[in-house]
Amino acid sequence: MPRPALAETDISAQLREAIARGQFSPNERLVEAELAERYSVNRAHIRTALAVLDRDGLVVRLPNRGARVRAISDAEAMEIAETRLAIETMVARQAALRGDAKGRASLRRIEKDMRRAVTQSDAALYSQCNAALHRELQRMAGNATANRILNTLKSHLMRLQYRGILLPGRPRASLAEHAAIVKAVCAGDADAAERAMRKHLTSFTRLLKQAIEATRMGGF
């Protein structure tokens, strides 16, 4: 299969980000002409980008009916969170064992930025730092198979993250959890890194379940 052109890759990345951040709603119709105007590209680029997102499970394309943002069911949301927990606990352990000085310094810088985001109540910055920290852990772990799986889940995970980040007090609690992960990884303590990541993602999964239940009751 030919590699997509740079413009098509850029558009698929922008659309992926927009869907993850909730700029397009679940089941919202994605009209090629409107997207082409929005992103200042031709419809062929949009069509190719939508095909990429369809392959990744973010978009559903139906014959003669166009494309729509794929909705994630509550059950699937929980499955994604549980799958992430299983893989990222392993990644944290491997990052502690395989990490280099550059990675450890990067984790500490990101943690500092996360603290600033919490102090300033900057949810967007915190989300960016959160994603950057997990990416750096993946890089340090050097597990290509885990990376492929997590990258496939990435956009779904961002959507779930935005649901959880709205819960009162979550950023500050999340900061403490990430600080424990950074401390363990930087110390090269694989057992502690795995425990810290498990605690963090177990908390996230529990809060996601609460958010789902609140949505069902109309309170979120």
* Domain map (residue ranges) of the chain: 6-69, 74-216
pLDDT tens-digit readout, 164-201: 555 667 788 899 999 999 999 999 999 999 999 999 99
Q: Which CATH architecture has domain 6-69?
A: Orthogonal Bundle (1.10)
Right CATH for 74-216 from 1.10.150.130, 1.10.287.40, 3.10.20.740, 1.20.120.530: 1.20.120.530
Q: Is the separation of the CB atoms in 10 and 41 below 8 Å? A: no
Q: State the average pLDDT over residues 209-220.
A: 70
Residue 111 has pLDDT above 90, yes or no: yes
Secondary structure (DSSP) of 119-159? HTT-HHHHHHHHHHHHHHHHHHHT-HHHHHHHHHHHHHHHH
Task: Report phi then psi at 130, rounded to 5.
Answer: -60, -50
CA atoms within 13 A on the CB side of 207: 20
Asked if domains 6-69 and 74-216 share a fold, the reply is: no
Q: Output the pTM of the full model.
A: 0.78
How confident is the model over 54-96, as pLDDT tens digits? Answer: 988 889 998 878 899 988 888 988 999 899 999 999 999 999 9
Average pLDDT over residues 11-20: 86
CA distance linking residue 6 with residue 106, whole number of Å: 29
For residue 220, what pLDDT band results from cuts at 50, 70 and 90? very low
